[in-house]
Chain A
């Protein structure tokens, strides 16, 4: 099939970007979306042009590197999948496909479709951990965690940090990302001693990074490749209020 691509090209953080149009011929429906971009890049290199830069690595939906806005949807059409898991059979012959980087003040564009998500790392550094030093910890079975609790913590912990929640949110809010970590540790006994400071510090850092405010419209949950529930945002709110007020 043939596809027309409109891709955001931007040389670096300082320069202005613009959309470029590329015609892709004979795209196989079995290709992944990223493989289609690989083919585009080979064509561009052969013509002596700069290939389209995009982040990607594991190409099986777990590393969280890839992420682009495809036809107005974070990670493209469909649910519960990262961009690398998207196959071209989701598109029709003759489709015009618009590809943009994640857009948020907190995620500045580095080049083309590559954005700087280090804000997420800084949020994690603001308490997104249990202060367990290597060594000197009790036996794994000394801490009992009933299966339903462990399962719910695992649901939250499955976040891949791709940033789709921010990209899909009309307000560029990072609440789902922050909530996933705060919720995981709030559920587990290991997270209890630092429970309050963690919620306070992580939210404070999130605000400092320039993410928007959550307006509870749940686009994040709909576009999360790991289908993380907004129930975790409710828990984050609860944790934050408890820590602030009590």
Chain B
């Protein structure tokens, strides 16, 4: 325990926490997207409901959920602590500082990106998680999604947030491996490919949901939905 505390108190230790929690959150995103793809099942949310029910009733999943929240908290808190320490490490700013000539945009906006993603999470959780799991709602999960994404501004907010999440992961994913010391010229191509999945394909996958609901799913059983139900695909 003592060595864990001393590990965390070191700069590298906090970054390891950032990396581990970040990667765990990334893994969750994979599972989350996989589940959410059931929204495309064209069964008026039947499969999706079933999936949600299993998740909620499984104690292991509930335990993981707690770890997930702890990870999020650990990630955010460590990020803030590192950020504050980093500000303190340069009390007098440069008059001119051309970081743009040396570094990638993604690496410079992790704090900004992270904060926006955090705000997004607050909105996301209060829109879905809280009504469904805590405060209660007469709607099913599918109906709630359908209802929320019928608002174009809400959908647009999601898309913007997902682009920022993508940028956040573009830096964060490879950064975690650098922090663990797990980079190597030989495996760099493989790591880049996996990173591409996380920072591009994953947010794109999530982004497809609001787009799908806004364009192809009507809030109340619309002719489009009916047609979809008949033919299996919107035409």
Binding site for B on A (CB under 8 A): 6, 19, 69, 71-73, 98, 100, 103-106, 168, 170-173, 203-204, 206-207, 210-219, 222-223, 230-231, 233-241, 244-245
Q: Is the CB of B97 within 8 A of A215?
A: no
Residue of A nearest to B88 (CB): A105
Residues of B within 8 A of A237 (CB): 12, 15, 178-181
Within B59-116, the residues touching A (CB, 8 Å) are 82, 85-86, 88-99, 101-104, 107-108, 110
Residues of B within 8 A of A244 (CB): 3, 6-7, 10, 13
Chain B min CB distance to A64 (Å): 20
Residue of A nearest to B172 (CB): A216
- Please measure, in the bound complex, the distance between the C-alpha atom of A219 and the C-alpha atom of B103, giving whole angstroms: 6
Q: Which of B6, B12, B94, B175 contacts A241 (CB 8 A)?
A: B12
Residues of B within 8 A of A219 (CB): 99, 102-103
Residues of A within 8 A of B121 (CB): none
Q: Is the CB of A217 within 8 A of B90?
A: no
Q: Is the CB of A100 within 8 A of B94?
A: yes
Residues of A within 8 A of B102 (CB): 73, 168, 218-219, 222-223
Interface centre among A98, A106, A213 (most CB of B within 10 A): A213
Main secondary structure of the interface of A (DSSP, over half): mixed
Q: Is the CB of B89 within 8 A of A105?
A: yes
Chain B min CB distance to A123 (Å): 13
Chain A min CB distance to B182 (Å): 7
Residue of A nearest to B79 (CB): A215
15 other contacts beyond A216-B107, A216-B171, with CB at 8 A cut-off? A73-B102, A103-B90, A104-B89, A170-B103, A171-B85, A172-B90, A203-B10, A212-B11, A212-B88, A218-B103, A218-B107, A222-B101, A231-B185, A237-B180, A244-B3
Q: Is the CB of B103 within 8 A of A72?
A: no
Beyond A103-B92, A172-B90, A214-B11, whether A234 also contacts B183 by CB under 8 A is yes
- Please measure, in the bound complex, the distance between the C-alpha atom of A219 and the C-alpha atom of B89, giving whole angstroms: 16
Count the B residues whose beta carbon is within 8 Å of the partner chain — how many?
42
Interface centre among B16, B97, B99 (most CB of A within 10 A): B97
- Please measure, in the bound complex, the distance between the C-alpha atom of A216 and the C-alpha atom of B110, giving whole angstroms: 11
Q: Is the CB of B181 within 8 A of A241?
A: yes
Binding site for A on B (CB under 8 A): 3, 6-7, 10-16, 82, 85-86, 88-99, 101-104, 107-108, 110, 171, 174-175, 178-183, 185
Beyond A214-B15, A215-B82, A241-B12, whether A73 also contacts B107 by CB under 8 A is no
- Please measure, in the bound complex, the distance between the C-alpha atom of A230 and the C-alpha atom of B226, giving whole angstroms: 57
Residues of B within 8 A of A98 (CB): 95-96
Q: Is the CB of A69 within 8 A of B96?
A: yes
- Please measure, in the bound complex, the distance between the C-alpha atom of A234 and the C-alpha atom of B181, giving whole angstroms: 4
Q: Is the CB of A230 within 8 A of B178?
A: yes
Residue of B nearest to A73 (CB): B98
Main secondary structure of the interface of B (DSSP, over half): helix
Residues of B within 8 A of A238 (CB): 180-182
Q: Which of A173, A212, A216 contacts B175 (CB 8 A)?
A: A216
Q: Which of A69, A206, A223 contacts B94 (CB 8 A)?
A: A69
Interface centre among A172, A231, A236, A237 (most CB of B within 10 A): A237
Q: Which of B3, B12, B89 contacts A210 (CB 8 A)?
A: B89
Q: Is the CB of B95 within 8 A of A19?
A: yes
Chain A min CB distance to B33 (Å): 25
Chain B min CB distance to A210 (Å): 6
Residues of B within 8 A of A245 (CB): 3, 7
- Please measure, in the bound complex, the distance between the C-alpha atom of A237 and the C-alpha atom of B180, giving whole angstroms: 6
Residues of B within 8 A of A106 (CB): 89
Residue of A nearest to B3 (CB): A244
Beyond A105-B91, A217-B103, A219-B103, whether A231 also contacts B98 by CB under 8 A is no
- Please measure, in the bound complex, the distance between the C-alpha atom of A103 and the C-alpha atom of B93, giving whole angstroms: 7
8 shortest interchain CB distances as A-B pairs: A238-B181, A212-B89, A217-B107, A72-B98, A72-B96, A171-B86, A222-B102, A172-B89
